[in-house]
Homo-oligomer: A and B are copies of this chain.
Amino acid sequence: MPNRQIVARELAEIFKTLAHPDRVRVIEELASSELDVNGLADRLDLPGTRVSQHLGKLRAHRMVEERRDGRHHFYRLTQPELARWIVDGLAFVEGRMQGVSEGQIATVREMWAGST
């Protein structure tokens, strides 16, 4: 009856998949629009090759889906609610951050969670 353990293992896999700042940012970008690798690389100011590697991991865990159009590979969230859930996790960030006020966190929360 080790269901709890199996579920805990799966949850830990999800957390591991999200446990990199670049991947968090990728997901938050994809929350608002489908983008290709270079589109993401531009917005996040990261080398395209690195974005590709992160997408490979997100793809392996079925967190993103790919649509190819010519030489472009467009990505979108498999489950868009994932982005919202991550933003909800900000509740556990507040009070842990040096040099960033709660107001600033609220601003980011709105940018990400937001309709803006």
Residues of chain A touching chain B, judged by Cβ–Cβ distance below 8 Å, are: 3-16, 18-25, 28, 61-63, 79, 81-82, 85-86, 88-93, 95-97, 99-100, 104-105, 107-108, 111-112
Contact = CB atoms under 8 A, between A and B. Distances in A.
A11 to B, nearest CB: 5
Interface of A is mostly: helix
A69 to B, nearest CB: 26
A19 B8 contact: no
Given A88-B85, A91-B81, A24 B3 contact: no
Contacts of A93: 7, 10-11, 14
Given A88-B85, A91-B85, A92-B82, A108 B14 contact: no
Contact of A20 (B12, B25, B99): B12
Contacts of A10: 93, 96-97
Nearest to A16: B19
Contact of A21 (B9, B62, B63, B97): B9
